[in-house]
Amino acid sequence: MTVTHRPGAIGRYGSAAGTGILAVLVLVGVCGSPMYVRWAEDNTDPNSAGGWFLQLLAWPAWRFAADGSGQGVLGADLRAILLVVLAAALLYVLPVSQVARVQGSLSQFFSGWGAYVLAAGAAALLSTLFGPDRSLLAALQAAGTGASYGFLSGWIIGTASLGSRA
């Protein structure tokens, strides 16, 4: 007889991908919100480590309405949308074979972190290529900025993925 449901405390927790996606939604939803972006710009010092990091967290900025630049709401929010979609896809794909054997291991942490780095870099690259500034140089520079954001904030997603089912 094959056991399909593991008994005990494990059943109460979500999957590593599910908790990671929830963390992505919270991080992008809260730190990318217009209210947080405005607060970070007005109340933090970009020349201090803490202020710079708080401003970095605002990188996937989104807004409710277009700013009149002609790109519309979807064009303005494409980076945040792609970040959430790509992070969700990578969080489901990356950890399956690596962490299925070992519950709560550091490989869950690094899979979540790595998925967010890749998702942020790819989201920046694609949103620039499909956005109003369609140059290859701008897309490559944006990918570098996105990967930097993912590297410095992805530990939050990796931490959220710890202790969950694979």
* Domain-located, residue 2: no
pLDDT tens digits, one per residue of 9-53: 444 445 778 889 999 999 999 999 999 999 999 999 999 999 999
134 part of a folded domain? yes
Across 138-143, average pLDDT: 94
Residues 6+ apart with CB under 8 A from 94: 111, 114, 115
Instruction: Report yes or no on 141 lying in a domain.
Output: yes
Q: For residue 105, tell me if it sits in a domain.
A: yes
Q: Distance between CA atoms of 89 and 118, rounded to whole angstroms?
A: 11
Q: Quick check: 120 and 154 in contact, CB under 8 A?
A: yes
Which domain covers residue 151, as residue numbers? Answer: 13-64+72-161
Assess if residue 23 is contained within a domain: yes
User: Structural domain tally of the chain?
Assistant: 1
The pLDDT tens digits of the residues spanning 147-160 come to 999 999 999 999 98
Tokens of 26: 């919270």
Looking at the domain assignment, is residue 126 inside a domain? yes
In a domain, 7, yes or no: no
3-class DSSP string for 11-41? HHCCEHHHHHHHHHHHHHHHHCCHHHHHHHH
At residue 95, the pLDDT reads 61
Domain-embedded: residue 5: no
pLDDT (tens digit, 9 = 90+) per residue, 48-87? Answer: 999 999 999 999 999 876 565 555 566 668 999 999 999 9
